Amino acid sequence: MAGLFAWAADVVGGGNLDNEESRKPVPLLLTPQQSHYLSELDVKAAALQQTVLVLRQRVGPGAQGFAERMPHLHADSVAAQSALALEVQAHNATRLQIQTRENSLRAENEAYAKEIAARQDEAREKEQEAKDLQISLQEIEKKEKTFKNELEKLRAAVEKKDELSVQEEEETIAVDGDRDSLLQNELKQLRSELEMWEVKTKKLETEVASAQQKASRWPSPAQREKDLERKLRNLTEQLVTKQAQAESLASERNALELRLEQLNEARRHMQATGTVDAKRNKIGRPSTSYHSADDSKARGLPVRQRASKTVTDNVASVARTVDAFSLHAGSHLWRNKVLRSLTVAYILGLHIAAFIILTGRLHRQFRPATTKELP
């Protein structure tokens, strides 16, 4: 190939044969057949180059313009050069493909080598496992032999024991007669004890029945709870009725208050007209005389009776003030719904507290009685 390049360069431009670039070898990776073929082409190129030199020596110095005087030869040489460049590019492409293929083959070879090594390791492990299994099989065979020997020994021992047991049974049959008599005596004793325990159980049953009868006299917790619920229901009904009565009394009291206000207005009107003064004087005289008579009577009494009289007067005054306060409070309660509801809730709370206290006392009363009677 180098000779062909040199010949083409000489034909086209008469280039220098001593050019260093033309003499540089092209780095290629070829097979042995391709290298042999290239060596043949080099030999042929060297022969052609030798013939070109001989022709140049014969032609002389006028051969430099030979290529210019022959344009068709120049075109052919350019075409040959382009074809040669294309072949070189194709050769380079094939060389790159060969290199990539070589790299891939190397990688595959490495992978295959690793896989082969892993398989070899697995094969070694399997061989080791097979050896271990063979060793364990040999041990199992040895154990089987020992077990067989032990089984034979046990069978012989069992046969001996059977013979001995037959002899012992024959001996025990003779002893069983004495044991039967002993067992009969023991059975008689057990029967007598059983009869005694039956008598005791009957006594206990009668005692339990009497205890149950005594317990049935007292009401059960469920009955007591029902009675308490009934009492609570009655109390609530009474509370409702009392509340209704209180409301009716409050309404009557309001009506009386209205009537009292009307009478007060009438009295004021009568006082304004002047007729009320005479009536008040007529009515006031006996009252003053009554109080004066009471005072005179109190003065005529001894000291202890006078003190008791003052106490009763004080009590009467306090009762009148309490009545007035209760009337005033009742009017406020009737007018204010919140206070009325609070009083009702307070009364219900008192009833519930009394119910709880009574139930606790009833339980305390009934429990010790039942515990004393049951034993």
- C-alpha 91/C-alpha 306 separation (Å) is 157
Whether 52 contacts 17, CB under 8 Å: no
3-class state of residue 27 by DSSP: coil
Whether 38 contacts 1, CB under 8 Å: yes
The percentage of the chain sitting over the pLDDT mark of 70, rounded to a whole number, equals: 64
Predicted local distance difference test score (pLDDT) of residue 342: 82
The percentage of the chain sitting over the pLDDT mark of 90, rounded to a whole number, equals: 1
Q: Give the confidence band of 372 by pLDDT, cuts at 50, 70, 90.
A: very low
- Between residues 97 and 29, the one the model is more confident about: 97
pLDDT in tens, 126-142: 888 888 888 888 888 88
| Predicted TM-score (pTM) of this structure | 0.24
Whether 4 contacts 41, CB under 8 Å: yes
Whether 38 contacts 87, CB under 8 Å: no
Q: How far is CA 111 from the centre of its chain?
A: 51
pLDDT in tens, 155-195: 888 888 777 777 776 676 666 666 667 777 777 888 888 88
- Between residues 29 and 167, the one the model is more confident about: 167
Predicted local distance difference test score (pLDDT) of residue 22: 46
Predicted local distance difference test score (pLDDT) of residue 29: 60
The mean pLDDT of the chain is: 72
- Interhelix angle 221-273/276-300, rounded to 10 degrees, is 120
**H/E/C letters for each residue in 265-280?**
HHHHHHHHHCCHHHHH
